[in-house]
Structure 1
Amino acid sequence: MVNNGVAVGIDLGTTYSCVGVWQHDRVEIIANDQGNRTTPSCVAFTDSERFIGEAAKNQAAFNPANTIFGTCIIYAKRLIGRKFSDSTVKDDMKFWPFTVVGDSDDRPKIVVNYRGVEKRFLPEELSAMVLCKMKEIAEEYLGKEVKNAVVTVPAHFSDSQRQATKDAARIAGLNVLRILVEPTAAAIAYGLDQKLTSSSSGEKIVLVFDLGGGTFDVSLLNITKNSCKVLATAGDTHLGGEDFDNRLLKYLVEEFSRKHGKDISKSAKSLRRLRNACEKAKRVLSHSAVTTVDIESLYEGIDYHAKISQARFEALNLDLFRSCLDTVEKCLKDAEIDKNNVQEVVLVGGSTRIPKVQQLLQQFFNGKELCKNINPEEAVAYGAAVQAAILSGEGSQNIKNLMVLDVTPQSLGIEVHNDGLMEVIIPRNTTYPISVEQTFCTGYDGQKYVRIGVYEGEMPRVADNNLLGEFELSGLPPAPRGKDEILVTFTIDANGVLIVFAEHKISRLKNSIKIIKGGTLSEEEIEVMVKDAEHLKAEDEEFRKKVKAILAFEDYIQNMKAISQSNCMLEASVKDMLNYYFKEATEWINSNKDAAIYEFKYKTLQLESICNKLIPGSEGMEIEEYE
């Protein structure tokens, strides 16, 4: 592949995101401006500015209605590519402190208040904000623009969800080289760690158990020297750390009600503070037998204290933990592989640190030691960065020949006879690239055309599945029912692009459709959102510049005040005059927060001119510029 510049790997996680790049013959996981190698998938809006990442999460408890946590963010990721009318969306909304509404196309939109104005964002837009943050983190580290990326998604994401993630990347100014599923990315990291991809004899059947903040995936893979082949995958978009937090949250809300006779769920702010405490408690209980939840003035001035044991946390979530094993069984069954033939069980995702999850999984595999060698929070970004290096031509000799073979997350098929039924052409968990042919006959006498609808899904009726596209084969010569044969070919290339080709065998009439797999957004909508994203970024930069100007002005006031007060050569009348100017400048700042940047700089220069006249030696003092 032609090298079009550096490419990064981005793990767009439900609770935390991570970015890596291939450099110096290895993957570098890039730290953010706070020095952390993972960044909260969180966006927040206030009366004055927009926060993304660490800053957004830090103020979540005080601004719950305008903080979208978890990407597409924890909840935006659960919304992306879905309809507002989906029952799963309705169920999730019960736990959200922010408002979600449907638009005219039944797409969910998240409502926030930004700078005193109500705004409605599609999940793709919010995901784009997090992706943009990861892009900026990479650019700051590399010192150059980043345009290309491999972005990861849960293995069981539908086509529309995967394409919605691509749309989000486009809005963020990224060209997606490939959408890579999270367990496969983790398997690449594992294979490199174990040197399986560079050993001629290395070959393993590996099960990747990926339990993150908001999604759960299980993938079975065959890892060899030159390939990482997915054999089967299964998962749940509604199972993860947030669900465990919700169980604990519900328990503590009920306990608070029993103790104090008050319903804390009426306060979004109190609920957010308690949710944060639940998340912290869950993390502590991964390595301690007991922890406490202490929150001062949680609700109506009431201080809250609760002791939570590891046993209590496990009891609250035991059915969810056990459901993970059902998914493991399903994956093994789809691959037709016995659990005793699995050579390694690799843990990925922060929630795999929960002791009970590890215990149940180890018991399921008859006491097999679980692989904890790779960092569960960084493994997905690591694998994505490797794939990005291969696709961009940056990879070294030991990875450049590595081939990643993925599987179809859902069955693909057609409706031919307008009977409402779906004929499966490519079953789910089929490895691609692949080409499959199937012959169909006309449905009635004298049939002149055939409409071919292309669908994905597991339901027998096409109405319950997702329509990817449709086309017609028209002008067929009249013939009795069942006499005309039509050859339909499904071809999926290495990038997951589906082409459906149909040919009338007798007349050689043919037609085809290329499922470009666009998301729910039109090109026009994406263009508008790209401009909106650029506008929001410009507003953020303008706000940062204003903050710098204010800080520079305030610091100059304080420095001059300290110098004037300590200068014994200044007369008392001069000091009084300076104090008057300092007070006047401070009051002006407090009363003019909305003033333009040039006004703050002008006021600073005015005060500097006065100080230069009244304070000997101050002429050489520069006003500090904030970076």
Structure 2
Amino acid sequence: MSTPFGVDLGNNNTVIACARNRGIDIIVNEVSNRSTPSLIGFGSRNRFIGETGKNQQTSNLKNTVDNLKRILGLNFKDPDFEIEQKYFSAPLIENKDGGISAKIRFLGEEQEFTSTQLAAMYINKIKDITYKETKGNITDICLSVPVWYTEKQRRAAADACRIAGLNPVRIVNEVTAAAVGYGVFKAGDLPEEKPKTVAFVDIGHSSLQVSIAAVKKGELKILGSAYDKHFGGRDFDYAIANHFADEFIGKYKINVRENPKAFYRLLAAAEKLKKVLSANTQAPINVESIMNDIDVSSSLTRADLEEFVQPLLERVHIPIETALKDAALSNSDIDSIEVIGGCTRVPALKAKLSEIFGKQLSFTLNQDEAISRGNAFICAMHSPTLRVRPFKFEDFNPYSVSYFWDKEEEDEDHLEVFPRGGLFPSTKIITLYRKGDFEVEAKYTNREELPKGTESTLVKWVIKGVVPNEGESSIPVKLKLRNDPSGFYTIESAHTVEEKLVKELVEPKEGEEVDEDAEPEYREVKKLVKKDDLTIIAQTSALTDESREKLTEKENSLVMEDKLVADTEDRKNALEEYIYELRGKLDEQYKDFASDEEKSKLSDMLMKTEDWLYEDGFDSTKAKYIAKYEELASIGNIIRGRYLAKEEEKKQALRQKQEASQAAAMAEKLAAARQANKDKPEEKTEEKAEEKAEDIEMQE
């Protein structure tokens, strides 16, 4: 049985939730943190993903890739990438498919990894964390993505999951996932008839997203969504860091922007200062040896920070107003404003949101974990083995999509099938008259709705097997078009139909008497009935099966390499620990259990092994570390065995002594009791004698 789990792939940190124990649990990582840094570092022998990557990011800046979801499925020439480049320390290049790849030094050579591969590496690590925590079968995942992700980016996210060996049961919008969690876990506060109108505002590390939802018990509809792609916590961090960078030029005569490592360390300090200012009106900043062996220090007030970020705060109202417009609502129609995302802890931002809506904000959802909890519930909904409370939800379609085909007998050669503002999942059926095999394309209808640089064509399909009836020039073809739960546009089925005479039961008219003994009447009518199923060949932006299999094999081989390096390091550490432990015990605990010859021989072996470990064996193989360990243990275990045998003898002797002492004490008590009984007057009542006997028995 698969354990359903949901992943909130954050730009800075990722949170994992799992459906188990009749509820939703947050999964902690290897260092017991409830969130995991979203980055990958590449070393000379292995990868450092998550916590280990964060720990060595400063020293391995050029070979560490973060901001993973900002480049997933993005084209290198996309206008958005021009903005994103400044946030990356690793060099990014254009790959053969026009996408983005990271060029890093790994395993002693220059290597390139696509954005999809990088996301798959990280998701695979998340899968491993979940498996180690739950010990369950981890196969199904619900992954959340930003509402502004296009079809291509959504398919890249699904590909990343599959490369990591997971089945993406649903790709869901981040704010929608949080809204689902609200609808499910706050059900006791929701109405059953008229829906409650809730605005969900998510401001995370890199983006601001707003969704207006109608929520009632067991049901949710997203009425409008909007976003600002370049508004988040990192923008606040950069505002603080740039302020101090300018200050340090005059104060310390250094320009930290010229040194990537120095600026990264300043950025990390700025993030900590931002968090302190969320609870305090003033905070210091100190960075030791930031560059040229210079220590820097300064301070910042909350008022100064609010001044730096004023241009950002002046943009907050735009996506909120857009979402309200899409939902055809005003501020007065909003019943509650639920705020999530780490950046919403900034006091000035909270005040601005409250001012825009003209109402108090609500923080009933966990700001960091709401999305992952919603994802886990959605994944559980798709599980064939788990029962969850019924909950229906529909999302908002942000872009209008039309289907195009070659014009033959139809009046039109395209149709807007899924308009902007419609709800999905959604299914439409259209009929075309075709002479033979044909092609269909799905395209975004209005380019002005799209983020700049977005390709207009989503998917192409080739429909094969169309054969008109004899004597006819064309045949009706029915296409089942679908905007599926993950937001993908598909042709779910296609078949030809033909007109046939079929018998249809004649129903009695209303009020007409029916003779129950009479035979039922039938009439022949012409109807379109299914003739042949057609073959559908899709050409999507997703990876081909062959390409995905190759990348999966590559990822599996890298996982094995990482495991081998980790196991080798463990064996090396075990050998080093055994050398010091055995040497110490040989002079203390084991000194009476080894002959002088054994001590001399073992000491010599320990010395030689230690010298080898720090010289030729510093970067050796797992097998050699094991062999060296077993060589020392072959003598060490004999001496240890003698010591343990003697300790067991001591324990046995001590137990026997304690048992003898206890027996003597018991005999003494019994003797004293008998003597006391003899000294009692004979006129004691029988009842009192019985009471004394009971007392003696208790003493025994």
| TM-score normalized with structure 1 length | 0.86
Q: Output the CA distance in 2 between the equivalents of 1:460 and 1:512.
A: 35
Residue aligned with 2:87, SS? coil
**Partner residue of 2:605 out of 545, 567, 581:** 581
User: What letter corresponds to residue 545 of structure 2 in structure 1?
Assistant: E
**Partner residue of 1:28 out of 25, 28, 52:** 25
**1:144 equivalent in structure 2:** 136
Aligned pairs (5 A) from 1:84-233: 84-195=76-187, 200-201=192-193, 203-233=195-225
Q: Is the 8 A contact 1:191 1:197 kept in 2?
A: no
Paired-residue identity, %: 25
Q: Are 2:37 and 1:40 equivalent residues in the alignment?
A: yes
**Partner residue of 1:400 out of 356, 370, 389:** 389
C-alpha distance 118-473 of structure 1, shift in aligned 2 (>3 A): closer
Q: Are 2:558 and 1:533 equivalent residues in the alignment?
A: no
**2:56 equivalent in structure 1:** 59
Q: Is the 8 A contact 1:9 1:388 kept in 2?
A: yes
User: What letter corresponds to residue 334 of structure 1 in structure 2?
Assistant: D
Aligned pairs (5 A) from 1:594-605: 594-605=619-630
**2:265 equivalent in structure 1:** 273
User: What letter corresponds to residue 167 of structure 2 in structure 1?
Assistant: N
C-alpha distance 263-506 of structure 1, shift in aligned 2 (>3 A): farther
Aligned pairs (5 A) from 1:330-479: 330-366=322-358, 368-396=359-387, 399-414=388-403, 424-435=416-427, 452-456=440-444, 458-459=446-447, 465-470=455-460
User: What letter corresponds to residue 363 of structure 2 in structure 1?
Assistant: K
Q: Are 2:3 and 1:6 equivalent residues in the alignment?
A: yes
Q: Is the 8 A contact 2:9 2:69 kept in 1?
A: no
Q: Output the CA distance in 2 between the equivalents of 1:108 and 1:359.
A: 38
C-alpha distance 6-115 of structure 1, shift in aligned 2 (>3 A): same
C-alpha distance 11-83 of structure 1, shift in aligned 2 (>3 A): same
Q: Is the 8 A contact 1:208 1:219 kept in 2?
A: yes
User: What letter corresponds to residue 327 of structure 1 in structure 2?
Assistant: P
Q: Are 2:247 and 1:255 equivalent residues in the alignment?
A: yes
Out of 200-209 and 157-166, give the one that drifted further.
Answer: 200-209
User: What letter corresponds to residue 375 of structure 1 in structure 2?
Assistant: N
1:531-575 deviation per Cα after TM superposition (whole angstroms, max 9, x unaligned): 111111111111121111111111111112212333766899987
Q: Is the 8 A contact 1:564 1:615 kept in 2?
A: no
Out of 354-363 and 45-54, give the one that drifted further.
Answer: 45-54
1:353-391 deviation per Cα after TM superposition (whole angstroms, max 9, x unaligned): 11111100101111x121111111100011011111111
C-alpha distance 457-134 of structure 1, shift in aligned 2 (>3 A): farther
Out of 485-494 and 561-570, give the one that drifted further.
Answer: 485-494
Deviation at 1:52, TM superposition (A): 1.4
Q: Output the CA distance in 2 between the equivalents of 1:536 and 1:300.
A: 38
Out of 110-119 and 533-542, give the one that drifted further.
Answer: 110-119
Q: Output the CA distance in 2 between the equivalents of 1:561 and 1:348.
A: 56
Q: Output the CA distance in 2 between the equivalents of 1:423 and 1:316.
A: 48
Q: Is the 8 A contact 2:426 2:484 kept in 1?
A: yes
User: What letter corresponds to residue 251 of structure 1 in structure 2?
Assistant: H
Q: Is the 8 A contact 2:15 2:26 kept in 1?
A: yes
Q: Are 2:275 and 1:283 equivalent residues in the alignment?
A: yes
Q: Output the CA distance in 2 between the equivalents of 1:524 and 1:448.
A: 29
Out of 77-86 and 201-210, give the one that drifted further.
Answer: 201-210
Q: Output the CA distance in 1 between the equivalents of 2:330 and 2:482.
A: 30
Q: Output the CA distance in 2 between the equivalents of 1:582 and 1:139.
A: 39
Residue aligned with 2:285, SS? strand
User: What letter corresponds to residue 15 of structure 2 in structure 1?
Assistant: C
1:67-94 deviation per Cα after TM superposition (whole angstroms, max 9, x unaligned): 222xxxx2x2111111011122122212
Q: Is the 8 A contact 1:471 1:513 kept in 2?
A: no
Residue aligned with 1:373, SS? coil
Q: Output the CA distance in 1 between the equivalents of 2:644 and 2:21.
A: 49
Q: Output the CA distance in 2 between the equivalents of 1:329 and 1:198.
A: 25
**Partner residue of 1:492 out of 476, 483, 488:** 483
**1:625 equivalent in structure 2:** none
**2:696 equivalent in structure 1:** none
Q: Output the CA distance in 2 between the equivalents of 1:598 and 1:376.
A: 48
Q: Is the 8 A contact 2:146 2:174 kept in 1?
A: yes
C-alpha distance 298-494 of structure 1, shift in aligned 2 (>3 A): closer
Deviation at 1:123, TM superposition (A): 1.4
Deviation at 1:65, TM superposition (A): 1.0
Q: Is the 8 A contact 1:25 1:395 kept in 2?
A: no
1:79-118 deviation per Cα after TM superposition (whole angstroms, max 9, x unaligned): 1111011122122212321100011221110122223222
Q: Are 2:614 and 1:590 equivalent residues in the alignment?
A: yes
C-alpha distance 433-516 of structure 1, shift in aligned 2 (>3 A): farther
Q: Is the 8 A contact 1:164 1:518 kept in 2?
A: no
**1:624 equivalent in structure 2:** none
Residue aligned with 2:88, SS? coil
Q: Is the 8 A contact 1:167 1:519 kept in 2?
A: no
Q: Output the CA distance in 2 between the equivalents of 1:576 and 1:448.
A: 91
User: What letter corresponds to residue 339 of structure 2 in structure 1?
Assistant: L
User: What letter corresponds to residue 147 of structure 1 in structure 2?
Assistant: T
Q: Is the 8 A contact 1:156 1:233 kept in 2?
A: no
Residue aligned with 1:62, SS? coil
Q: Output the CA distance in 2 between the equivalents of 1:356 and 1:528.
A: 49
User: What letter corresponds to residue 260 of structure 1 in structure 2?
Assistant: Y
Q: Output the CA distance in 2 between the equivalents of 1:244 and 1:417.
A: 51
User: What letter corresponds to residue 315 of structure 1 in structure 2?
Assistant: E
Q: Output the CA distance in 2 between the equivalents of 1:460 and 1:182.
A: 24
Which is bigger in relative contact order (C-alpha 8 A, separation at least 6)? 1
User: What letter corresponds to residue 606 of structure 2 in structure 1?
Assistant: F
